[in-house]
Amino acid sequence: MTPTPKAARDETVDYLIIGAGLAGLTLYRFLDSDSKAIVDAHPARYKLGESLIPEHFRDPALAPLLAKARALPSYSPKCGSMFIGSDSIAAFPLAPDDLGLAMHVRREELERLMIDEWQVPVREERVIDVDVAARVVTTTSRTYRVRRQILDCSGPVRVVARSLGRVQELWRSWASWIYYDIVGVDDARFSRWLRESNVRYARYDPGLGHPLEAVEDPGWRSCDCTVVAQVQRGSFAWQIPLYRRSILSFGVTSRLGPVSLDALHEAGSRLIAPHYEVRPRPLDRSSEYNRFHVGNRFSNRSLDAATLDWILVGDAGFFGEPIYATGTAVAVNQALYVARALNDGGWDEHKLADYTERCGRVIAASTEARRYFFEPSEELSVERQRLFRERGIVGTPFQLTMANNYGRILQGLLNLFDDAGEGRDFGSVFESADSEQQKLTAAFGQWLGAVSPWSVRTAYRTKGGLQVAFTHATKPELTARIAPSAPDARAYRVVGPFALTYRSTRTGDYPLDRSTDALFGELEHRLGVAPAPVLEWMGAEAGS
């Protein structure tokens, strides 16, 4: 950095946190130390990252913020994600237990809430020099001498990594975005558009990729989703509703090159979802919502995640694509991980190695995610389609790719800073899902026993339930669902605490006859005499 005059005074602290974004504020709040400081030149400043997935608030430490976050002016509900391809849509609804944990919200409002609620004494100072070897950080107000670790949460600025010349571009990415006024919202218009167009629509379990029933879940509204639409090969557009669906964040991220304002408007005219009626906002720079924003060549990483002298958290260590909505959740969970590690006896070689390994897996998972997301659907091989269908995943090539990878990408990224994910590499996330499904299929078949002429093709956990696909020599495949019964819930049959339902075929209701009645009768009998295994299978993943 450019040398500057010595700051006004010196201060010695155990920990200095650079950056008061989501990661820095979380780290400060949960770091048990009486000798810490946090600096940021512009706290609670505008940032992109308005879509928060449930894992952002999953940890009980963050849960107390939820009610006040939902009361923020910019809040809009988020009930899932939709990916729109050239000829099909893959929708991923959140489970009912997750609906309260997800939201669309303005980042600066959320960060101001965290500052106020946690009483974080952010010092409005800009870092002007870093001597990493000496652990000395100079700001516009003072010089900090750090006894333990410099904690860099500075986001894409990457104060520490840039001072060391240790920043690497992983791949070329460009993005541009603007905001529209939403002047009308009509979910029925979206439904009409689906009926009148040739676009195929399917809903999938985000965790396993398996198709969900045709009936929409309670709370599901297409206008409350994060929508990602394919602009062209290698280019996608996002749309996120804010301020109770009154302002729409619309942007394009591309691996092809910069996205001009004209290209952005053209993409918006074609791709803004039918449930919105929008009006362009004047680009007079009167607010952040009246500007043309550009972020180019942003997919960068630090070559090191940490040393014994400093630790990088969140985007200060790595930033990939702005379309997954996982970045804020990863950053917050990294911050919690680091705070707890420091609280538990301080930083040492073992914790350094563990953190470095986990951060490496974040980058590996993100790299795989980018490859899967930008993979052109027409390149999906016939063999891969066959493998997907064998696992119960059906749809167009675009839907198959999204259904197979979206939830697993989320699991791969977000389990990395959860003790449950310790020791698992990214590849094992995919392999273990298949292995567990095979084990569950075998166990369910043994539990049910023979029900000729039916056979169990596959069994798998879904959010809060269990789905089983049965094959028959002369009838279509039958997919049954076993889930906890609930008051007023629609079900084909109720057996004590269980509700039994089944999926219609593509052309209408499933053809019930004596054969299917015998199958459901045996399911009822087994649930009555031996419910424990099914409760255990559902409980292992229910609501997770």
pLDDT tens, 85-127? 888 999 999 877 788 889 999 999 999 999 999 999 999 999 9
Kindly state the DSSP code that residue 314 receives in the 8-state scheme.
Answer: G
How confident is residue 504, by pLDDT bands cut at 50, 70 and 90? low
Q: What pLDDT is recorded for position 422?
A: 40
Asked if residue 140 lies in contact with residue 57, where contact means CB atoms within 8 angstroms, the answer is no
Indicate whether 461 pLDDT > 90. no
The mean pLDDT of 446-453, rounded to a whole number, is 89
How confident is residue 544, by pLDDT bands cut at 50, 70 and 90? very low
Strand ranges, E, within 153-190: 167-169, 174-185
Q: What pLDDT is recorded for position 140?
A: 95
Q: What pLDDT is recorded for position 329?
A: 87
Residue from 152, 149, 148 nearest 167 by CA:
152
**CA 33 to CA 436: how far, in whole Å?**
43
Residue from 261, 267, 300, 307 nearest 282 by CA:
261
Q: Which residue has the higher pLDDT, 477 or 16?
A: 16
The mean pLDDT of 137-141, rounded to a whole number, is 96
Q: Which residue has the higher pLDDT, 219 or 472?
A: 472
| DSSP-based three-state secondary structure for 76 | strand
Taking the whole predicted model, whether its pTM rises above 0.85 is answered as no
Angle at 170 between CA 253 and CA 370, to 5 degrees: 50
| DSSP-based three-state secondary structure for 386 | helix
| DSSP-based three-state secondary structure for 502 | strand
Count of helices and strands (H, E) across the chain: 13, 26
**CA 132 to CA 56: how far, in whole Å?**
31
How confident is residue 378, by pLDDT bands cut at 50, 70 and 90? low
Residue from 375, 462, 384, 370 nearest 412 by CA:
370
Strand duo 200-203 + 88-93: pairing: parallel
* Domain ranges for the chain: 9-50+106-167+300-346, 174-296, 364-432, 440-541
The mean pLDDT of 266-287, rounded to a whole number, is 95
Q: What pLDDT is recorded for position 406?
A: 76
Indicate whether 431 pLDDT > 50. no
Query: What is the per-residue DSSP string for 395-429?
Result: S-HHHHHHHHHHHHHHHHHHGGGSGGGTT--HHHH
Which CATH number does 9-50+106-167+300-346 carry?
A: 3.50.50.60
How confident is residue 408, by pLDDT bands cut at 50, 70 and 90? low
H/E stretch holding 363: helix 349-374
Indicate whether 192 pLDDT > 60. yes
Q: What pLDDT is recorded for position 472?
A: 85
Q: Which residues of 214-231 are buried (b: 16+ CB within 10 A; e: fewer)?
A: eebbeebbbbbbbbbbbb
Q: What pLDDT is recorded for position 425?
A: 40
Residue from 186, 189, 191 nearest 201 by CA:
191
The mean pLDDT of 25-30, rounded to a whole number, is 96
**CA 352 to CA 308: how far, in whole Å?**
7
Q: What pLDDT is recorded for position 399?
A: 85
What's the full length of the chain, in residues? 544
Quote the tokens at residue 209.
Answer: 């990729």
Q: What is the mean pLDDT of the chain?
A: 85
Proportion of the chain above pLDDT 70, given as a percent:
84
Q: What pLDDT is recorded for position 129?
A: 95
